[in-house]
Amino acid sequence: MQVDTGFTFVLFGGTGDLAMRKILPGLYQAHRGGLLPAAGRIIAVARGFGNREAYLQWMHTHVRNHIKPDGDDPLWNDFLNRILFVRVDLGQPEDYALLRDAISQLSGIRVFYLATRPSLFVPICRALSIIGLSDGARIVLEKPLGYDLQSSKAINNAVGEIFVESHIYRIDHYLGKEPVQNLLALRFGNTLLEPLWRREWVESIQITIAEELGVEGRGDFYDSTGALRDMVQNHLLQLLSIVAMEPPHSMHTDSLRDEKLRVLRALKPIEPGAVSRVAVRGQYHTGVLKGVAVPAYITEQGVSASSTTETFVALKVEIENWRWAGVPFFLRTGKRLADRVAEIVVNFRAVPHSVFDSMALRNSSNRLVIRLQPNESIRLYGLAKQPGEGMNLQSVHLDLAFDKFFKEERMEAYQRLLLDVINGRLALFVHRDEQEAAWRWVEPILTEWTRLGTVPKRYAAGTWGPAAASALLAQHGTCWLEEEN
């Protein structure tokens, strides 16, 4: 729904990778779809250019590559008319006066998007407060928000002194993906799945976020972070909370986020002595990915040759409540894996007694596969009789082909979330309590790895990770789903 008033969207880190690949393209797509009011303006903040013309040329060269329309697009030039540029050295408080002067000429709600390193979050917020720009404004914070529970609380406390919680938007782009929205619709808009969505009928659940890429020039950052902090604490636990949550009272912000928080608080704590049994830590070495030789992690630029940072994590997670008691949730994420895929797999229990003598029945259970990337889809798998003589069963699936029902262009995650910020919708953003509950659960794993000096298990680039990740599931009589297209 289009907003009725203008807005001023201030993008700190206006020349960064995130601004180039996601934020500016997302704002352009919203503009192209007529979802932004004509009075809205975007102010890019950076120190690498001297004037607006130079910044617009940078956008022509770098941002156009990341938007969908090809060729000459008059809407692109129209979008550029929204763009202003202010050169600010974030370490120089006096430069913020230039930003104040630019904003004073504009109307509507103010949004400050901090696409910067986390160490700048608090200084930027304080500078905005000093020059009188924080009152009534909305602030968007990118991950990672802290290095551990203590540092996360410190950032939240400092930002919370300046902005009220209802104006703080902690972004997790996975929550903006179309299949995640459809998961909510499937569960809470229909009666078909909800009666089965519990321990009596679900055997196990897998959540995977696999990447083909390595650290891509971000070795300095990644080597001090690792996969557990970079992916599990936020993306994977957020997806888990969406999958496992109770039906909310409504789709209102507080109701939805309260139910996610209850899941995070119900996660079974991992005792120090159990970490090695439920958590697998890996690091990629040399290998072949799609026919191309790739180097080991420890030879990547910015990575220490003696690094013990994990590039892969697999976990067994349990939820201590009546709906999910005894159901294992398996989480997996890693770099330089065999394919780029993000998906949720719900494995339902087998029939209590088989009347068929069929290998298909013994080797394949009913399951729901929700693919988030690269091709978004939802498939429900079951068994059907093969044509011909005899009663031979074969695995088949039902496709929920949304593209056949809905002809509208699919909205990218960042586009949806940026519009939600501008329109003041918080439901798909992370509350402080959720974030801290996730850190509280993850931190004992980090502490135990440090205490024991746990060395990551090596895996060849281009594979699905260390063998121990498969063994983690084999203990429960199951395996990772890796063959879907």
Enumerate the active-site residues: 235
C-alpha distances in Å from residue 181, one per residue of 63, 316, 408, 411, 482: 27, 25, 16, 11, 24
Closest CA to 177 of 432, 417, 426, 419: 417
Strand partners, 204: 347
407 phi and psi, to 5 degrees?
-90, -10
SS3 359: helix
CA distance 257 to 246: 11
At a CB cut-off of 8 Å and minimum separation 6, what does 390 contact? Answer: none
Taking the C-alpha atoms of residue 383 and residue 385, their distance in angstroms, rounded to an integer, is 7
CA distance linking residue 225 with residue 231, whole number of Å? 10
Query: Is residue 298 classed as helix, strand or coil in its secondary structure?
Result: helix
Question: What is the C-alpha separation between 176 and 397, in angstroms, rounded?
Answer: 26
Q: Using alpha carbons, select from 210, 234, 233, 230 the residue that is nearest to residue 222.
A: 230
Helix axis angle, 178-189 relative to 237-244, nearest 10°? 20
DSSP 267: B
